[in-house]
Structure 1
Amino acid sequence: MSEILTTEMAPSPDISHIITEDNTPVDNFGSEKQQRLLTRVLYSSWTGPDDSQKFLVAANVGVFTAIAQPPIVPDVFLSLDVGVAENWWEKKNRSYFVWEFGKPPEVVIEIVSNREGNELGSKLRDYERMRVSYYVVFDPIQQLGGPVLQIYQLQGTRYLPMTDTWLEQVGLGLTLWRGVFEDKEDVWLRWCDKDGNLIPTGTERAELAESQLRQTESQLQETESLLEQERRRSELLTERLRALGIDPEQLNG
């Protein structure tokens, strides 16, 4: 006689003592804008690696890996196949508790503005232990003395530097782009597709649509002008034939 085994879900740990927000200002204007660019773009113009996959991208939200450990707060993180809970004000849903989401984020991005973050030291090792697939360090003013953009991929238990900027496991790439975002020209870190095409912001999408509309209107006006010129040439030819005593309708017949 076969025995039916039942497994009860383990209750969520008690997190009543955990501080999920400390209300401490932590960023400068440049970092704040860069964070917003990286998060807003995906929600406005990306539908996941298979065009229907859920995802969560956030800035300055704590990631908790264990009850007894303080959170790590990436400047930006991206996690696939998860979403914000419906009751997101409930304490267990206010931060990224790995045991609630069932997995760590796939990508974390740190934006360097000083040398205090230890992005290539203790912070890198923290994300290794967290098992984050890709660790990105964007150093726009080269505080660390190395390249502006460094990307690491988890291989086994250690991060190895990547020479490519395509993040295969998430279906996104990263690129440096000089341009204007929110009236500020600078070199920005941007998401892109495999061919290096930027994932556009909502504003860029609207501008592209407006440009395409203007181009279509211009093409229609040009077509109408050509048709009008053709109509005028036909009228002139008809007038000349009649002046010569030739009936244009008989020629058409």
Structure 2
Amino acid sequence: MVVAIARPQIRWEAPPDDFVLADDPVDNVNQPAIAAALTESLELAQRLTPQSLITTNYGLCAQVDGKTVVKAPDWAYILVLSMPRETIQRSYTPQLQGDLPTVVMEFLSDTDGGEHSTKPTYPPGKWFFYEQILQVPNYVLFDPQQGTLEVYRLDEGGHYQLRRANDQQCYWLEELQLFLGVWQGTRENRAGYWLRWWDAQDNLLLWGMELVALERQAKQTALERLALLEQRLRESGLEL
């Protein structure tokens, strides 16, 4: 006999003022750096609008069957806020304060593996919360140690389906109009795997340090060309 599970009753209400939000340290020591790198390249490429919001380890809230549920993904993207950014404090409640998240990401660690938890009872697992409560279109799981990336897309039935990467091992995120993939290299003294963005023309969205290096190289190339031109002019007998 199949037992049907009742659909949770969801209300989009902010946590009570006396609700204690978790203040635990992040599970993965690499989380802040990876999250910051994702955001920085979007900002520098002018891919963010004044109405959008990116959260890192910041509580996403909902009332589920009369109880406050808060999950804090390692990185999340909200396309449009419906109220001033400065009024969003302590946590973010979708539908009340703006759009549902378009993307949530979890960076895997050696802890309990709750990123895959479909537990429906209170407190619900992360997978269940993102899929069944928030119904986030894109759920990303990234293992910084192994460099593995899983991208799930919410199907028409409201369930996550594992997507297949393209030939470059990247995933197109329609809402952001960008590809997401894994890149190996060094940033801020951390050598390893990173998540990076590419545009529709396969151009990598650069970090600030990369843009500075390009500018420095362009200036050096210009100086070398100028020096070569001056040398040729002198060799031809022309005075500078």
Residue 140 (structure 2) aligns with: 136
Residues 87, 187 of structure 1: alpha-carbon distance in 2 compared, 3 angstrom cutoff:
closer
Counterpart contact for 2:80–2:99, Cα < 8 Å: no
Residue 161 (structure 2) aligns with: 160
Residue 53 (structure 2) aligns with: 56
Counterpart contact for 2:136–2:154, Cα < 8 Å: yes
Residue 75 (structure 2) aligns with: 76
Give the gaps of 5 or more residues in structure 1.
1-11, 235-253
Residues 26, 86 of structure 1: alpha-carbon distance in 2 compared, 3 angstrom cutoff:
closer
Give the gaps of 5 or more residues in structure 2.
1-12, 119-125, 166-170
Question: Where is the strand percentage greater, Structure 1 or Structure 2?
Answer: 2
Distance 1:227 1:54 in 2: 55
Residues 113, 171 of structure 1: alpha-carbon distance in 2 compared, 3 angstrom cutoff:
same
Residues 134, 85 of structure 1: alpha-carbon distance in 2 compared, 3 angstrom cutoff:
same
Deviation at 1:163, TM superposition (A): 1.2
Residue 251 (structure 1) aligns with: none
Deviation at 1:37, TM superposition (A): 1.6
Distance 1:42 1:106 in 2: 15
Distance 2:207 2:149 in 1: 21
Residue 6 (structure 2) aligns with: none
TM-score by length of 1: 0.73
Counterpart contact for 2:82–2:99, Cα < 8 Å: no
Distance 1:182 1:101 in 2: 34
Distance 1:53 1:23 in 2: 28
- 3-state DSSP of counterpart to 1:82: coil
Distance 1:65 1:223 in 2: 66
Q: Which has the larger radius of gyration?
A: 1
- 3-state DSSP of counterpart to 2:192: strand
TM-score by length of 2: 0.77
Q: Which amino acid aligns with 2:162?
A: P
Following superposition of structure 1 onto structure 2, how do residues 1-253 of structure 1 map, counting pairs within 5 Å?
Answer: 15-19=16-20, 21-48=21-48, 54-66=51-63, 68-82=67-81, 85-88=84-87, 93-122=89-118, 123-129=126-132, 130-142=134-146, 148-156=148-156, 157-164=158-165, 165-231=171-237
Aligned residues: 211
Distance 1:13 1:54 in 2: 20
Question: Where is the helix percentage greater, Structure 1 or Structure 2?
Answer: 1
Counterpart contact for 2:81–2:98, Cα < 8 Å: no
The CA RMSD measured in Å over matched residues stands at: 2.6
Q: Which amino acid aligns with 1:65?
A: A
Distance 2:195 2:223 in 1: 34
Residues 24, 120 of structure 1: alpha-carbon distance in 2 compared, 3 angstrom cutoff:
closer
Distance 1:53 1:163 in 2: 32
